Amino acid sequence: MSAVSNTLTNASTPTSSTRAEKVFAVVGNPNSGKTTLFNGLTGMRQKVGNYPGVTVERKEGTCYSQHGHRIRLIDLPGTYTLTAHSPDEAIAQDVLMGRRNDTPRPDGIICVADASNLERHLFLTTQLLELGLPVILVLNMIDDATHAGVSIDAQALEDSLGVTVVQTQARIGKGLKKLRLAMSRDNLPLPKWEFALPETFQRALDATAQRIRNVQKCPEAFARAEAWLHLTESTPDELHPNVEPTPQAITTFAQQIRTELAQHDHDWKERLVGERYIQLSKVVQKAIERKPEKRPTPTDRIDSVLLHPLWGGLILGLLMVGIFYAIFSLSALPMDGIDAAFAWLGDTVNAHLPAGTLRDLIVNGMIAGVGGVVIFLPQILILFFFVALLEGTGYMARAAFLLDRLMCKVGLHGQSFIPLLSSYACAIPGIMAARSISSRKDRLVTILVAPWMSCSARLPVYFVMIAAIAPGAAWVKTALMFFVYFIGTAGAFAFAFLFKKTLMRGESPSLMMEMPPYRWPTWKTVLVVMLDRAKLFLKKAGTIILGVSIILWFFVSYPKNAEGESNIAESYAGQVGHALEPVTEPLGYDWKVNIGLLASFAAREVFVSTMAIIYSVEDEGEDTDSLAEVLRGQKHSDGSPVFTPLVCLSLMVFYVFSLQCLSTVAVVKRETNSWRWPLFQLAYMTVFAYLAALAIYQGGRLLGFS
């Protein structure tokens, strides 16, 4: 937590008057309209990244004051309270107290509150007022408040809290000008709210603050804020893994005080929360007037249908199918376009470069490799369009409400719903969506099983194999398709259950979810979500995937034979394929399949292209049937077919369960912040895939199939 050096640098960092630009942090409860406000203030000028070490998104943007001065805005994750319960929640505290080396301590705080729900939002507000920084209180959603019969006396709020109050409607940009004006003020007042603590606590706080001042030589207000945060957290350093540890002299002292307080009153923290609400109610009485709301509200009416005991589930199911269908059907056209663009790029390079190693590398390695992945950009965009839409309207919370029981049965959190749904398109956004799950164990379980929801990268493999098993017969194809999706999902649920019973034992995860009223999302917010994802996705294609493609190309093309030509059987990849034969023979695969199998550990789609290259088939776009024909024609040296239905089925089952995706491994590494989990995942999924494929192949042969 805060260290001496940090505070000292803090004292010597230039203040707002000398620093080139002011820095404001945007803080607020989830659903207060923070994102909308942030996007409204910064336009598209924002940087999205990650706080190193914690899976929390870091958003920064620049906005301009009414006088044209640059202001830096730091968006903090939405939170109900400053008391952190998990590392991702501790970010807000760390930034606000200037503990992180990568972010300067802000000059002021913009506290966003939902005006229609101010009683609760003021709880966080008053915590922010005690940090010794100027605060601008933004009363957002004034329109909603008016509708709900809530009237707010802004002047009374300003008087009793000593802060500047600005009323806004972030969605239509109303009030942003006033907010900018307030941000440009040089003489923003320091809050005058004071939490009158019961005497025991007051003494404890004073003593801790005094100790901190002795050790760290910091201003009084800063020390009091730190003291408060130290006292209310029981395991501070665990919660703040990426900032310098607090000096021992402070932690032991705080620990001692905490023990004394607990002896006096076991539930002292809860008591303080209650006390804060009581003191707040005096402010609320003066400033807020609530007329009884007209019921049913529009949200009540919509929910009586969407959460109906009967229709609720049905509508949710239809919606999921619809999104699923849209992702597949709407993406076909743009995917063809991207395919054509990369084909054109390859042709152009072919036409302008002399034949040789460089051209091979660029066309067969780089362009083919990167193009094969970028082709899935439309799916990512479409998926996140729907995710942003469902989140923006408030339907996501309803879906979780409907399905919570089901997920609960296998030990999954209700919030695992979205990550798992997303994983049908691609495990990567799915795993990233698991960030919203607050408990670390439940997040891990979700991440561990997410790649079993059959993703779209497996589709090319499924298509080819299904075509090889059952040419024609549409209903067999459909049944096979359903089969692979079903076993994947069933496997995910079964293993989630298993993990919860063994590795991730813990209390059954709880649910504390706010049910927001339905709202219209803004197009800007939806667009920003899609653009953010697209940027991250393309960045990956240009780095990891590009590198892998080059390596792969090399191993398939070298060493060249005496005539200087590539011979796959003798290439490094071919040799490895042969070496693997003893391992994969029980599954029914030959050395050429092994190359594809191994290559597709980089990305599953690679299997199809590897097969196409090896069997010298022109892989003409989506026309995979021709490849299937070729596969069906392949014979072993004794004349028996290589790709029998049983072999194809065994291959499909292997692809359902194996983790053949470097990007997933990389993302899991990033999200869990260690190599342990991705390696464990890789191991258990590969072993299970192997056993499942073995069972299918050997079992099938025992039953007399071939």
**Taking contact as CB under 6 A, which single stretch among the options 58-66, 141-149, 403-411, 661-669 is the one that binds ligand GDP?**
141-149
Asked if residue 140 binds ligand GDP (CB under 6 A), the reply is yes
Can you read off the two tokens belonging to residue 387?
């995710």
Asked if residue 11 binds other proteins (CB under 8 A), the reply is no
Binding letters toward ligand GDP, positions 470-509, x by CB under 6 A? ----------------------------------------
Number of residues that bind other proteins (CB under 8 A): 45
Q: Which does 35 bind (CB under 5 to 8 A by kind): ligand GDP, other proteins, none?
A: ligand GDP
Radius of gyration of the chain (CA): 29
| Contact present, 99 and 243 (Cβ < 8 Å) | yes
**Taking contact as CB under 6 A, which single stretch among the options 140-148, 358-366, 500-508, 610-618 is the one that binds ligand GDP?**
140-148
How many CA atoms within 13 Å lie on the side-chain side of 326?
A: 14
Binding letters toward ligand GDP, positions 65-84, x by CB under 6 A? -------------x------
Q: Which is it for strands 57-64 and 70-75: parallel, antiparallel or unpaired?
A: antiparallel
The answer to whether the Cα torsion of 539, 545, 548, 552 is positive or negative is negative
Asked if residue 392 binds ligand GDP (CB under 6 A), the reply is yes
| Residues in region 265-284 near other proteins by CB under 8 A | 267, 269-270, 273-274, 277
Q: Which does 359 bind (CB under 5 to 8 A by kind): other proteins, ligand GDP, none?
A: none
Binding letters toward ligand GDP, positions 333-352, x by CB under 6 A? --------------------
2 or 415: whose CB is closer to other proteins? 415
**Taking contact as CB under 6 A, which single stretch among the options 476-484, 518-526, 547-555, 661-669 is the one that binds ligand GDP?**
518-526
Give the dihedral of Cα atoms 456, 458, 463, 468; nearest 10 deg: 180
What span, in angstroms and rounded, lies between the C-alpha atoms of 182 and 189? 11
Give the residue from 190, 64, 217, 66 showing the smallest Cα distance to 129.
Answer: 190
Binding letters toward ligand GDP, positions 9-48, x by CB under 6 A? -------------------x-xxxxxxx------------
312 or 369: whose CB is closer to other proteins? 312
| Residues in region 61-80 near other proteins by CB under 8 A | 80
* Phi, psi (degrees; rounded to nearest 5) at 51: -70, 120
What span, in angstroms and rounded, lies between the C-alpha atoms of 212 and 208? 6
**Taking contact as CB under 6 A, which single stretch among the options 222-230, 399-407, 516-524, 526-534 is the one that binds ligand GDP?**
516-524
The DSSP code for 508 is P
What span, in angstroms and rounded, lies between the C-alpha atoms of 648 and 593? 11
Q: Which does 221 bind (CB under 5 to 8 A by kind): other proteins, ligand GDP, none?
A: none
| Contact present, 59 and 38 (Cβ < 8 Å) | yes
Give the residue from 48, 92, 45, 98 showing the smallest Cα distance to 71.
Answer: 45
Asked if residue 414 binds other proteins (CB under 8 A), the reply is yes
Asked if residue 30 binds other proteins (CB under 8 A), the reply is no
Q: Which does 414 bind (CB under 5 to 8 A by kind): ligand GDP, other proteins, none?
A: other proteins
Beta carbon of residue 304, minimum distance to other proteins (angstroms, whole number)? 9
- Mapped onto helix, strand or coil, the DSSP state of residue 562 is coil
| Residue indicated by tokens 């496997």 | 491
- 344-362 burial code (b ≥16 CB/10 A, e <16): ebbeeeeeeeeeeeeeebb
Q: Which does 303 bind (CB under 5 to 8 A by kind): other proteins, ligand GDP, none?
A: other proteins
Binding letters toward other proteins, positions 449-488, x by CB under 8 A? ----------------------------------------
What span, in angstroms and rounded, lies between the C-alpha atoms of 140 and 170? 6
What span, in angstroms and rounded, lies between the C-alpha atoms of 465 and 468? 5
140 or 660: whose CB is closer to ligand GDP? 140
| Contact present, 686 and 452 (Cβ < 8 Å) | no
Strand arrangement, sheet containing 108-114: 46-50, 57-64, 70-75, 22-28, 108-114, 135-140, 164-167
Binder of other proteins out of 75, 107, 404, 442 (CB under 8 A): 404
**Taking contact as CB under 8 A, which single stretch among the options 50-58, 394-402, 449-457, 599-607 is the one that binds other proteins?**
394-402
Binder of other proteins out of 57, 66, 69, 120 (CB under 8 A): 120
**Is the bond leading into 334 cis (omega within 30 degrees of zero)?**
no
| Contact present, 137 and 157 (Cβ < 8 Å) | yes
Asked if residue 303 binds other proteins (CB under 8 A), the reply is yes
Beta carbon of residue 295, minimum distance to ligand GDP (angstroms, whole number)? 19
| Residue indicated by tokens 């200037």 | 98
Can you read off the two tokens belonging to residue 208?
């801790």
Binder of ligand GDP out of 519, 540, 578, 670 (CB under 6 A): 519
Beta carbon of residue 87, minimum distance to ligand GDP (angstroms, whole number)? 20
Burial of 525 (0-12, 13-18, 19+ CB in 10 A): buried
Beta carbon of residue 74, minimum distance to ligand GDP (angstroms, whole number)? 14
Asked if residue 522 binds ligand GDP (CB under 6 A), the reply is yes
| Contact present, 559 and 573 (Cβ < 8 Å) | no
Burial of 6 (0-12, 13-18, 19+ CB in 10 A): buried
Q: Tell me how crowded residue 478 is: count the other CB atoms within 10 A of its CB.
A: 12
Binder of other proteins out of 4, 11, 330, 513 (CB under 8 A): 513
CA-to-CA separations, 170 to 174, 245, 452, 475, 543, in angstroms, rounded: 6, 39, 40, 52, 37
Give the residue from 51, 442, 97 showing the smallest Cα distance to 236.
Answer: 97
34 or 443: whose CB is closer to ligand GDP? 34
Asked if residue 308 binds other proteins (CB under 8 A), the reply is yes
* Phi, psi (degrees; rounded to nearest 5) at 163: -125, 165
- 87-126 burial code (b ≥16 CB/10 A, e <16): bbbbbbbbbbbbbbeebbbbbbbbbbbbbbbbeebbbbbb
Beta carbon of residue 44, minimum distance to other proteins (angstroms, whole number)? 31
500 or 533: whose CB is closer to ligand GDP? 533
380 or 390: whose CB is closer to ligand GDP? 390
**Taking contact as CB under 8 A, which single stretch among the options 52-60, 190-198, 398-406, 623-631 is the one that binds other proteins?**
398-406
171 or 443: whose CB is closer to ligand GDP? 171
Asked if residue 514 binds other proteins (CB under 8 A), the reply is yes
Number of residues that bind ligand GDP (CB under 6 A): 20
Asked if residue 547 binds other proteins (CB under 8 A), the reply is no
Residues lying near ligand GDP in the complex (CB under 6 A) are found at 28, 30-36, 78, 140-141, 143-144, 169-171, 392, 519, 521-522
Which residues lie near other proteins (CB under 8 A)? 80-81, 83, 85, 116-120, 123, 148, 150, 267, 269-270, 273-274, 277, 290, 303, 307-310, 312-313, 397, 400-406, 408, 414, 507-508, 510-516
